[in-house]
């Protein structure tokens, strides 16, 4: 099953690489940014979580200890949380770098592009409003044609259907012959599986 999922990931990586290349003038992602790995929920399907744990197993013992401690701290914070939507920094973010980059989830791979919403609307990544992706062509909340022309780009920036729901659609399960399984926030997988939470 994992082999088939990896085949899907290879397909997805090819597509996303092309999308990011097309948007190069507007993309500011770089190693050490890590802003999108913080203060979120990180949806993960069962197979993504299994693959993520393969990445954890490959880490050296020092990194494993750091990640394990991060997970324990997050679970404790979640147990004490009384609000509506618990958010946290990803436990795999160590010194602002993803420690399991090759094994990261689908949401991590697609984040940073402009998403084409269901009604055809364009959804900017939140970091657009923090001076990062697409911020160089924005005028307030809107894309500015003069600004992207100033960059020497003749066409408007493109939005792609890169929502988590679409990228984990049953059509891909059928095409690559695997199942995503249940989906839930990453930290809930650790709680449910009791991995590193005891």
If the CB atoms of residues 136 and 197 are measured against ligand SF4, the closer one turns out to be: 136
Length of the chain: 198
Instruction: Read off φ and ψ for residue 79, nearest 5 degrees.
Output: -60, -30
Query: Which residues are CB-neighbours of 3 under 8 A, at least 6 positions away?
Result: none
Instruction: Please provide the DSSP assignment of 3-30 as one string.
Output: HHHHHHHHHHHHHHHHHHHHTGGG----
Interacting residues with ligand SF4 between 15 and 74 (CB under 6 A): 28-29, 33, 35-37, 42
If the CB atoms of residues 105 and 185 are measured against ligand SF4, the closer one turns out to be: 105
Instruction: For residues 154 and 90, give the distance between their C-alpha atoms in angstroms, rounded to a whole number.
Output: 38
- 6 contacts ligand SF4 (rule: CB under 6 A): no
Strands 97-98 and 93-94: antiparallel
- Distances in Å between the Cα of 181 and the Cα atoms of 1, 5, 173 are 11, 12, 10
From 74-82, 100-108, 138-146, 156-164, give the range in contact with ligand SF4 by CB under 6 A.
100-108
If the CB atoms of residues 98 and 184 are measured against ligand SF4, the closer one turns out to be: 98
If the CB atoms of residues 7 and 33 are measured against ligand SF4, the closer one turns out to be: 33
- 157 contacts ligand SF4 (rule: CB under 6 A): no
Q: Which residues bind ligand SF4 (CB under 6 A)?
A: 28-29, 33, 35-37, 42, 90, 92-93, 98, 100, 104-105, 108, 111-112, 125, 127, 132-133
């Amino acid at each position: 099953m994992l082999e088939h999922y990896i085949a899907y990931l290879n397909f997805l990586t090819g597509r996303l690489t092309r999308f990011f290349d097309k948007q190069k003038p507007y993309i500011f992602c770089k190693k050490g940014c890590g802003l999108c790995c913080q203060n979120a929920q990180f949806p993960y399907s069962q197979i993504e979580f299994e693959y993520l744990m393969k990445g954890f197993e490959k880490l050296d013992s020092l990194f494993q200890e750091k990640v394990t401690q991060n997970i324990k701290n997050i679970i404790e914070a979640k147990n004490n949380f009384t609000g509506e939507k618990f958010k946290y920094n990803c436990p795999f973010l160590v010194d602002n770098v993803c420690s399991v980059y090759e094994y990261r989830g689908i949401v991590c791979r697609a984040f940073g592009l402009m998403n084409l919403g269901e009604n055809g609307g364009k959804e900017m990544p939140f970091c657009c409003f923090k001076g990062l992706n697409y911020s160089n062509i924005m005028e307030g909340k809107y894309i500015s044609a003069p600004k992207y022309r100033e960059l020497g780009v003749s066409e408007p920036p493109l939005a792609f259907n890169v929502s988590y729901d679409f990228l984990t659609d049953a059509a891909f399960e059928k095409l690559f012959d695997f199942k995503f399984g249940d989906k839930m926030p990453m930290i809930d997988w650790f709680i449910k599986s009791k991995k590193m939470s005891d």
